């Protein structure tokens, strides 16, 4: 039974990794002659990378993706930390309304919002700018909600003791709450970074200027750039996949926590 | 005590978020509702046409085709993904060194960006790609996966199932690992076999996690835009034109903003209804 179970798992996980293996093989190919991706035809990955980074726009796309993901990720962490903490622990007018607003937006689909948000961004003169790409995605309802739920676990007594000691509310937030919220904030940054890294729809709509394209939009138009060379397109796909891998390996615990948020609580 | 400073700090800390959600969520949502009742071609100004967009939809073969394809796509991606993810997660959640390694490996497909995944599957489905190579080994003639109107939607479905499988296997594994071990010991003592244990103990205990996976996978499939955009461009002959793709195409390349907004409203309504049904069915006897 145990042997059978392990055999099934190895076969299943093998199938799950097969396309990843194919990606590495084709990304390392010298040309497009063998696209089956089953056997290495030499290892030309370094040359392919040199070609992509030497000519063409891949470095620009990579830079833009990093600006977009680090920018929106950090902004989301800062604003969600502040709002999530306040919603969990401070009594202020409009708290319930704000909570309803945040939870309500969790149900909305981007397909409804992209049209009017595009019109707003156009009105602001932000089409084809970094602010146009970053600002509409800089705070997520998920982030505010995640921090609020996590902040509810901070004991009231701790905050009360600090107040009795005469600490101001902002000081309590910065010195007591933020350090305690750190795991939630790392999880939020990771989830946000990975989601933005893969965001195709919004940059596609708001950025016509190739100089602003992040990797997903660049990849979508890649074949017109390098000619119809599948192996170089695959090398570019590999480059796109590497930063999420690195983050996942470094922050695996937080990644699972982010994925399962909402699924495990009873 | 402390009511005043708390109120000041609370407002100050939440103000940016409140402004953001009003400007980029609430106002756009209300604007989308309004636009759905207008004729608006981007260049001009919106003119109120009442329910005409909604009436037009149900006579538009493009919309009806997209709605149907979205239903097929959603059912055929969600069901196999969850069944396969369970089949992987149940053995994967058991302790052991091999399983720890396998759990780490499953994360690799899960964090692959969809954009990169799509490019790789374009290669897999190409003339000399892996799909045709494997068919060749079985003695079957090569197929044009992405340019045949019969096969393209299934090519998309297979890719999406693969892409979501790792993710859901991880979530379900975490859910299974959180289940109380004593229940299983008791079941084993009572002589419960693996199948009985699975259907009588594991599935009911895992209901919360299953509901979560079901809700996010259905919602994800209903609003999926990227696979159709990157693999097939909605083609061939609209065979993979899922509703989000049709909405995008109407709104941006064609600039039928009012009509696209109305279709967005229908998609939103469908998503809310489907989510409510799932909660109703699976949560019913929870409390």
From the list B81, B73, B72, B107, the residue with the least C-alpha distance to B210 is B81
Contacts 24+ apart (CB under 8 A), A92-97: A92/B6, A92/B7, A92/B8, A92/B9, A92/B10, A92/B11, A92/B14, A93/B7, A93/B11, A94/B11, A94/B14, A94/B18, A95/B10, A95/B14
Q: Which of B5, B7, B9 to mutate to test the interface with A (most CBs of A within 10 A)?
A: B9
Flag if B6 and A16 touch (Cβ within 8 Å): no
From the list A143, A132, A145, the residue with the least C-alpha distance to A202 is A132
Do B37 and B51 touch, CB atoms closer than 8 A?
yes
Which residue from A minimizes the CA distance to B161? Answer: A16
Which residue from B minimizes the CA distance to A148? Answer: B14
B18 → closest Cβ in A6, A98, A240: A98
A12 lies within 8 A of chain B by CB: yes
A4 lies within 8 A of chain B by CB: no
Distance CA B169, CA B166 (A): 5
A22 → closest Cβ in B24, B124, B271: B124
From the list B223, B30, B17, the residue with the least C-alpha distance to A95 is B17
Give one word for A123, left, alpha or beta, with left for phi > 0 and alpha for psi -120 to 50: alpha
Distance CA B179, CA B138 (A): 42
Flag if B130 and A36 touch (Cβ within 8 Å): yes
Name the helix (H) or strand (E) containing B39: strand B38-39
Distance CA A27, CA A44 (A): 8
| Residue-level pLDDT at A92 | 92
Distance CA B287, CA B276 (A): 17
| Residue-level pLDDT at B283 | 67
Name the helix (H) or strand (E) containing B47: strand B47-48
In a structure prediction context, what are the per-residue pLDDT tens digits for chain A, which is 266 residues long? 688 888 999 999 999 999 999 999 999 999 888 888 888 988 999 999 998 898 888 999 999 999 999 999 999 999 999 999 999 999 999 999 999 999 888 888 888 999 999 999 999 999 999 999 999 999 989 899 999 999 999 999 999 999 999 889 999 999 999 999 999 999 999 999 999 999 999 999 999 999 999 999 999 888 776 666 889 999 999 999 999 999 988 988 888 888 777 544 43
Chain A hits for B246, Cβ within 8 Å: none
Which residue from B minimizes the CA distance to A124? Answer: B23
- B48 has which bridge partners? B38
Which residue from A minimizes the CA distance to B174? Answer: A260
- B173 phi/psi in degrees, rounded to 5: -60, -45
Do B248 and B225 touch, CB atoms closer than 8 A?
yes
Structure tokens given for A48: 């392919």
To 5 degrees, how large is the angle CA A153–CA A264–CA B217? 130
Chain A hits for B122, Cβ within 8 Å: 230, 233
Direct distance between the N- and C-terminal alpha carbons of chain A, in angstroms, rounded to an integer: 32
- B39 has which bridge partners? B47
| Residue-level pLDDT at B183 | 83
Do A211 and A60 touch, CB atoms closer than 8 A?
yes
DSSP state of B240: T
| Residue-level pLDDT at A63 | 96
Q: Which of B74, B116, B256 to mutate to test the interface with A (most CBs of A within 10 A)?
A: B116
Flag if B109 and A107 touch (Cβ within 8 Å): no
A144 → closest Cβ in B17, B113, B120: B17
pTM: 0.91
Q: Which of residues 39-78 of A touch B (CB under 8 A)?
A: none
Where b means 16+ CB within 10 Å and e means fewer, B226-264 reads bbbbbbbebebebbbbbbbbbbbbbbbeeebbbbbbbbb
Q: What is Dmax (Cα atoms) for chain A?
A: 74
Residue with tokens 């063998």: A34
Residue with tokens 């992509």: A52
Direct distance between the N- and C-terminal alpha carbons of chain B, in angstroms, rounded to an integer: 37
Q: Which of A258, A263, A265, A266 to mutate to test the interface with B (most CBs of B within 10 A)?
A: A263
Flag if B17 and A83 touch (Cβ within 8 Å): yes
| Residue-level pLDDT at A229 | 86
A35 → closest Cβ in B98, B128, B261: B128
Which residue from A minimizes the CA distance to B179? Answer: A264
Which residue from B minimizes the CA distance to A86? Answer: B10
A18 lies within 8 A of chain B by CB: yes
Residues of chain B with pLDDT under 70: 1-3, 283-287
Distance CA A105, CA A133 (A): 19
A146 lies within 8 A of chain B by CB: no
């Amino acid at each position: 039974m145990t042997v059978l179970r392990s055999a099934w798992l190895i076969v299943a996980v093998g199938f799950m990794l097969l396309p990843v293996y194919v990606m590495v093989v084709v990304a390392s190919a010298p040309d497009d002659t063998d696209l089956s991706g089953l056997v290495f035809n030499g290892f030309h990955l370094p040359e392919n990378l040199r070609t992509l980074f030497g000519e063409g726009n891949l470095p620009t796309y990579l830079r833009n993706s990093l600006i977009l993901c680090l920018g929106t990720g950090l902004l989301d962490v800062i604003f969600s930390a502040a709002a999530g903490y306040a919603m969990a622990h401070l009594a202020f007018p409009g708290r319930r309304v704000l909570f309803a607003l945040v939870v309500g937006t969790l149900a909305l689909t981007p397909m409804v919002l992209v049209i009017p948000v595009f019109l707003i961004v156009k009105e602001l003169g932000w089409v084809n700018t970094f602010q146009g790409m970053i600002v509409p995605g800089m705070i997520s309802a998920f982030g505010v909600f995640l921090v609020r739920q996590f902040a509810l676990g901070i004991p009231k007594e701790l905050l009360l003791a600090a107040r009795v000691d005469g600490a101001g509310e902002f000081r309590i937030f910065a010195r007591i709450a933020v350090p305690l919220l750190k795991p939630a904030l790392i999880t939020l940054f990771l989830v946000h970074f990975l989601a933005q890294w893969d965001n195709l729809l919004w940059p596609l709509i708001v950025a016509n200027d190739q100089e602003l394209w992040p990797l997903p939009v660049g990849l979508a138009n890649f074949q017109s750039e390098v000619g119809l060379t599948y192996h170089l397109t695959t090398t570019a796909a590999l480059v796109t996949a590497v930063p999420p891998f690195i983050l996942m390996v470094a922050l695996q615990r937080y990644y699972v926590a982010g994925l399962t948020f909402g699924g495990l609580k009873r | 005590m402390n009511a005043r400073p708390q109120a000041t700090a609370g407002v100050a800390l939440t103000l940016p978020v409140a402004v953001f959600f009003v400007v980029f969520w609430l106002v756009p949502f209300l604007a989308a509702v309004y636009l759905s009742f207008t004729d608006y071609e981007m260049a001009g100004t919106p003119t109120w046409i009442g329910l005409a967009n909604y009436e037009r939809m149900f006579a538009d073969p493009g919309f009806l085709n997209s709605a149907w394809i979205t239903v097929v796509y959603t059912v055929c991606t969600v069901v196999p993904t969850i069944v396969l993810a369970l089949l992987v997660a149940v053995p994967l959640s058991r302790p052991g060194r091999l399983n720890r390694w396998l759990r780490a490996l499953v994360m690799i497909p899960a964090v692959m960006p969809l954009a990169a995944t799509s490019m790789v599957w374009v290669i897999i489905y190409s003339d000399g790609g892996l799909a045709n190579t494997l068919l060749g080994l079985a003695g079957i003639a090569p197929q044009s996966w992405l340019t045949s109107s019969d096969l393209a939607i299934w090519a998309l479905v297979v890719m999406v199932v693969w892409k979501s499988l790792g993710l859901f296997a991880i979530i379900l594994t975490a859910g299974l690992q959180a289940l109380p071990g004593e229940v299983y010991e008791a079941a084993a003592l009572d002589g419960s076999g693996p199948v009985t244990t699975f259907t009588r103990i594991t599935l009911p205990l895992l209901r919360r996690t299953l509901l979560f996976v079901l809700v996010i996978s259905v919602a994800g499939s209903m609003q999926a835009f990227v696979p159709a955009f990157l693999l097939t461009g909605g083609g061939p002959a609209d065979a993979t034109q899922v509703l989000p793709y049709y909405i995008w195409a109407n709104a941006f390349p064609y600039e039928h903003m009012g009509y696209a907004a109305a279709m967005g409203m229908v998609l939103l309504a469908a998503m809310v209804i489907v989510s409510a049904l799932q909660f109703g069915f699976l949560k019913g006897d929870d409390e």
